[in-house]
Amino acid sequence: MARIPQLTTKEDVPQEHQHIVEEIMGSRGGRISGPFSVLLHNPEAAGRSAHLGSALRFDSTTLTKDLLEIAINTAARESDCGYQWAGHYKLAREAGVSEATLDVIANHGSLGSLSEDEALVVQYGRELFRDHRISEATYAAASERFGTRGLVDLTALMGYYGMLACSLNAFDVQPPSDAPKLP
């Protein structure tokens, strides 16, 4: 059980903020769950976070869906965020990411079996979350492959999911018991 109440309906917030709940629900399949259920204790922050997430994930990205989900799952893994992993594991599979690739991410495995693009995204994320910097070699390879805009998209996306992971982990929001688990 989460450490704070999870707010999942518009009735859970003051009337003047109920439009924010409706906006989030509209961009998230008609429901509130996970990070937004705790972020709604600050409705403005929740709304702005959801808006940023929509831009990074749906509206304005140069990343393909598979690489986007690899980036998100890498952020989840490197943040040890079980809720985020559970939610995006299925989305990654639907985007065409193989179980083998997700196993490499989940188990901090060798990148040798991944495609060049997959390995580059995972390596970039591992460095960003572990070292809080990107090595010259990884930056050069990623810049050549994805360009400046692609690196901005990748970095912002991973940073956004890192922020959500902080909220999920701090408030101990757990995934459903039958969801995929991190080792």
Q: What is the pLDDT of residues 10-22, one digit of tens each?
A: 899 999 999 999 9
Q: What is the pLDDT of residues 137-152, one digit of tens each?
A: 999 999 999 999 999 9
Q: What is the token pair recorded at 96?
A: 């065409």
Is the residue at 3 inside a domain?
no
Is the residue at 1 inside a domain?
no
Q: What is the pLDDT of residues 61-79, one digit of tens each?
A: 899 999 999 999 999 999 9
Q: 114: left (phi > 0), else alpha (psi -120 to 50), else beta?
A: beta
Confidence of residue 27 (pLDDT cuts 50, 70, 90): confident
HSE-CB for 116 with a 13 A CA cutoff = 5
pLDDT score for 83: 97
Say whether both 41 and 25 belong to one domain.
yes
Say whether both 97 and 30 belong to one domain.
no
Query: Is pLDDT at 154 greater than 90 in this prediction?
Result: yes
pLDDT score for 124: 99
Domain range for residue 23? Answer: 10-59
Q: What is the CA radius of gyration of the chain?
A: 17
Q: What is the pLDDT of residues 110-135, one digit of tens each?
A: 999 999 999 999 999 999 999 999 99
Say whether both 23 and 112 belong to one domain.
no
Say whether both 90 and 127 belong to one domain.
yes
Say whether both 16 and 78 belong to one domain.
no
This model's pTM is above 0.85? yes
Nearest Cα residue to 50 out of 39, 62, 63: 39
Is the residue at 170 inside a domain?
no
Confidence of residue 60 (pLDDT cuts 50, 70, 90): confident
Nearest Cα residue to 68 out of 53, 48, 81: 53
pLDDT score for 101: 99
Say whether both 77 and 35 belong to one domain.
no
pLDDT score for 96: 98
Q: What is the token pair recorded at 8?
A: 């999942």
Count CB atoms within 10 A of the CB of residue 120: 21
Q: What is the token pair recorded at 48?
A: 């702005």
Say whether both 159 and 83 belong to one domain.
yes
Percent of the chain whose pLDDT exceeds 70:
100
Residues 154/71, Cβ–Cβ less than 8 Å: yes
**Domain tally, the chain:** 2
Query: Is pLDDT at 29 greater than 90 in this prediction?
Result: no
Say whether both 110 and 145 belong to one domain.
yes
In this structure, what are the phi and psi dihedrals at residue 135, rounded to the nearest 5 degrees? -65, 160
Report d(CA 21, CA 36) in Å as an integer: 9
Query: Is pLDDT at 86 greater than 90 in this prediction?
Result: yes
Confidence of residue 30 (pLDDT cuts 50, 70, 90): confident
pLDDT score for 120: 98
